[in-house]
Amino acid sequence: MDEKLNVLLMIQSIDTKFDNISREKEETPKEIEKLKEGLDLLDSTVEQNLSTVEELKKERRKVERELEEIDLKLKKSKLRLNEVKSNREYQAVLKEIEDLKDFTFQKEETVIKWMEEIEIQEKKCADNTVRREESQEEYKSNEKAFSQRIRELDKEVQSLNEKRVQLSPNLDEDLLRQYNGLRSHLKGRVVVPVIDGVCQECHLGIPPQQYNELIKGDSLQSCPHCSRIIYWEDDSGI
195 lies in the binding site for Zn ion (CB under 5 A):
no
226 lies in the binding site for Zn ion (CB under 5 A):
yes
Question: What is the torsional sign of CA 173, 176, 180, 182?
Answer: positive
CB neighbourhood size of 54 (10 A): 12
194 lies in the binding site for Zn ion (CB under 5 A):
no
229 lies in the binding site for Zn ion (CB under 5 A):
no
For strand 198-199 and strand 191-195, is the pairing parallel, antiparallel, or unpaired? Answer: antiparallel
Helix (H) / strand (E) element for 75: namely: helix 2-81
Q: Which of 199, 206, 214, 229 binds Zn ion (CB under 5 A)?
A: 199
Q: How far is the C-alpha of 37 from the C-alpha of 202, rounded, in Å?
A: 41
Q: Which is nearer to Zn ion, 114 or 211 (CB)?
A: 211
Closest separation between CB of residue 195 and Zn ion, Å?
12
Q: Treating both helix axes as pointing N-terminal to C-terminal, what angle do 2-81 and 173-185 enclose, rounded to 10 degrees?
A: 30
Q: Which stretch binds Zn ion (CB under 5 A): 13-21, 62-70, 175-183, 226-234?
A: 226-234
Write down how long the chain is.
238
Closest separation between CB of residue 221 and Zn ion, Å?
11
182 lies in the binding site for Zn ion (CB under 5 A):
no
Closest separation between CB of residue 203 and Zn ion, Å?
8
Q: Which is nearer to Zn ion, 42 or 223 (CB)?
A: 223
207 lies in the binding site for Zn ion (CB under 5 A):
no
Give bridge partners of residue 231 from the DSSP assignment: 193
191 lies in the binding site for Zn ion (CB under 5 A):
no
Q: Which residues lie closer than 8 Å to 101 by C-beta, 6 or more apart?
A: 74
Q: How many helices (H) and strands (E) does the chain have?
A: 4, 4
Local structure of 194: helix, strand or coil: strand
101 lies in the binding site for Zn ion (CB under 5 A):
no
223 lies in the binding site for Zn ion (CB under 5 A):
yes
Local structure of 79: helix, strand or coil: helix
233 lies in the binding site for Zn ion (CB under 5 A):
no
Q: Which of 62, 101, 216, 225 binds Zn ion (CB under 5 A)?
A: 225
Q: Which is nearer to Zn ion, 65 or 225 (CB)?
A: 225
* Binding interface with Zn ion (CB under 5 A): 199, 202, 223, 225-226
